Amino acid sequence: MKNNKKLIIALASVVVLAVVFFFVYKAFGPKTSAGSKAFKVEVVNSEGATKEYEGKTDAEYLKGLMDQLAAEGDFSYEGSDSEYGLFITAINGESAVYETDGAYWSIYVNGSYGEYGADQQPVTDGDTYSFVYERADQ
Amino acid sequence: MKLTVKDIAVLGLLLGLMEAGKRMLDLLPNVEVITLLFILYALYLGKKAYLIAVAFTLLETSVFGLHTWVVMYLYMWPLLITIVLLYQSRKKAQLSSETHTKRDPDTISCQGPDAVLNQYPDGISGQRPADSASGHASSKGSTDPCSIKNTSDQDIILASHGFFCVLAAAFGLLFGALCTVPYFFIGGPSMAFTWWVAGIPYDLIHCVSNFLICLFLFRPLCHLFGRIRAAGYL
């Protein structure tokens, strides 16, 4: 009986913790803003050349914005789904796969290293998103 | 820790089982049998489970490449194994105090508690010498009139089902938080916090899936492992 009581308390604690985590996510998690938003996208390739895109979007996440740019024709990307979300392997035909090229595509938001993948990075009005080709040995 | 050729073969098979289980559930994010398997391996293999943890990490690295998750795997799974082994030790101590106080009138107890404990040289999940000699584990007590009845190691493991369900759930819920350690060193508390918060929905899935998987599969797998042990392979 004593053991059962301890078990119930432990299970209840896990449930309470799960609820707390849920509210932490609601309070501090990535937030999107709907509606028409101004954006700027920069693609910096392996030679350091920058290609810029500007416009308006209703995309909630960066991946949606990338799909919009790809539909407009002047931008392309390739990637694969991983357990961490979209993993970008090529942009505008330039491949950066760590295992073969020793390089990868990094995401920067307003000049700072992005903390989310493309499918979790919210698109905010007026922000600049940069895809930068980076070598592993830099 | 001495390893025989048979030990190495068995550990290899159990590692393969774990990897196959992971592959099968790859499509479902954070739904995995790894947690349950590590709990079982710790219960039935003791400290040898640490070897599987290291080998599993190396195997995953060979498949997916080197990344920050390798560092996480190197401390997360051993942490789970350690918690299980500590729980086992505590249960053993509890068993020791209970055998000291309880006397089953149907059992001819002609040995003291120390002699009983000596029947579990490798901890609660270890095989008793009497079992290994006969080639099988008796879950109902041996024919030796001086043995304890109804307290086989298998019974103790099965009686801990509830605890391991809660442990699996808590481990799944805290998995993301525990994995933020490398990010403290990479980008500081801010990066670690952001990374953890972004993964909370997956941690919630992990918590529920671990609990349900343990709830429904713990007992059947324990019976299976018990039979494998009885056959002399563990």
Mean pLDDT of chain A, nearest integer: 89
Is B157 contained in some domain? yes
In this structure, the answer to whether residues A118 and A85 fall within a common structural domain is yes
- A81: its two tokens: 């789904």
Contacting residues of B for A83, CB less than 8 Å apart: 26, 29
User: A11 to chain B: which residues are within 8 Å by CB?
Assistant: 166, 169
Give the pLDDT confidence of B210-227 residue by residue, as tens digits: 999 999 999 999 999 999
Tell me what pLDDT residue B171 has: 96
Write out the DSSP string of B52-96: HHHHHHHHHHHHH-S-HHHHHHHHHHHHHHHHHHHHHHHHHHHHH
pLDDT tens digit sequence for B111-159: 444 444 444 444 444 444 444 433 334 444 444 333 333 347 788 888 8
pLDDT-based confidence at B108, cuts 50/70/90? very low
Q: What per-residue confidence (pLDDT) applies to B128? A: 43
For residue B59, pLDDT over 80 is answered with yes
Same-domain check for residues A94 and A120: yes
Residue B101 within a domain: no
In a domain, B148, yes or no: yes
For range A33-48, the mean pLDDT: 86
Determine which of A1, A3, A83, A99 to mutate to test the interface with B (most B C-beta atoms within 10 Å): A83
The minimum CA-CA distance between B234 and chain A, rounded to whole Å, is 29
> Dihedral sign, CA of A69, A71, A72, A77?
positive
User: Does the pLDDT of residue A10 top 50, yes or no?
Assistant: yes
Cβ-based contacts of B191 with chain A (< 8 Å): 115
Chain mean position to CA A22: 21
Domains contained in chain A, number: 2
Q: Which residue has the tokens 């953890």?
A: B196
CATH number at A53 reads 2.170.130.30
For the full predicted model, state whether its pTM sits above 0.95: no
**A20 at B interface, C-beta within 8 A:** no
How close A34 comes to chain B (CA, Å)? 19
Q: Is A127 helix (H, G, I), strand (E, B) or coil?
A: strand
At A84, is the pLDDT very low, low, confident or very high (cuts 50, 70, 90)? confident
Higher pLDDT, B111 or A27: A27
Residues 6 or more apart in contact with residue B191 via CB below 8 angstroms: A115, B183, B184
Element (H, E) at B101: helix B68-101
Same domain, A41 and A12: no
Predicted local confidence at residue B101, as pLDDT: 53
Pairing of strands A37-44, A127-135: parallel
**Is A28 near chain B, with CB under 8 Å?**
yes
Domain match, A19 and A48 both: no
What pLDDT is recorded for position A98?
Answer: 81
Domain count along chain B: 1
Mean pLDDT over B196-201 rounds to: 92
Assign B28 to helix, strand or coil.
coil
What residues of B are in contact with residue A29 (Cβ under 8 Å)?
197-198, 200
How close does chain A come to B232, measured CA to CA in Å? 32
Check CB contact under 8 Å for B200 and A22.
Answer: yes
* pLDDT, mean over chain B: 80
- Which residues form the domain of A26? 1-30
Residue A17 shares a structural domain with residue A50: no
Task: Say if B79 falls within a structural domain.
Answer: yes
Outline where DSSP puts E strands in B52-207: none
Residue-level pLDDT at A130: 95
Beta strand A94-95 pairing with A85-91: antiparallel
Going by pLDDT thresholds of 50, 70 and 90, the confidence category of residue B41 is: very high
B55, part of any domain: yes
Q: For residues A48 and A136, is the Cβ–Cβ distance under 8 A?
A: no
The residue-averaged pLDDT of B54-78 equals: 91
What pLDDT sits at residue A20? 95
- Name every residue in B having a CB less than 8 A away from some CB of A: 26, 29, 65, 162-163, 166, 169-170, 173, 187, 191, 193-195, 197-198, 200-201, 203-204, 207
**What residues of chain B lie within 8 A of the CB of A113, using their CB?**
187
Q: How would residue A29 be classed by pLDDT, with cut points 50, 70 and 90?
A: confident
Residue A122, classified by CB atoms within 10 Å of its CB into exposed (0-12), middle (13-18) or buried (19+), is: middle
pLDDT tens-digit map of A95-126: 988 888 889 999 999 999 988 899 889 999 99
Instruction: Output the pLDDT for position A62.
Output: 94
Do A93 and A74 fall within a single domain? Answer: yes
Domain span at residue B212? Answer: 5-92+142-230
Note the pLDDT of residue A2.
67
pLDDT of residue A16: 95
Per-residue pLDDT at B154: 81
How much is the pLDDT for B100? 58
- pLDDT exceeds 60 at position A73: yes
Domain for residue B111, yes or no?
A: no
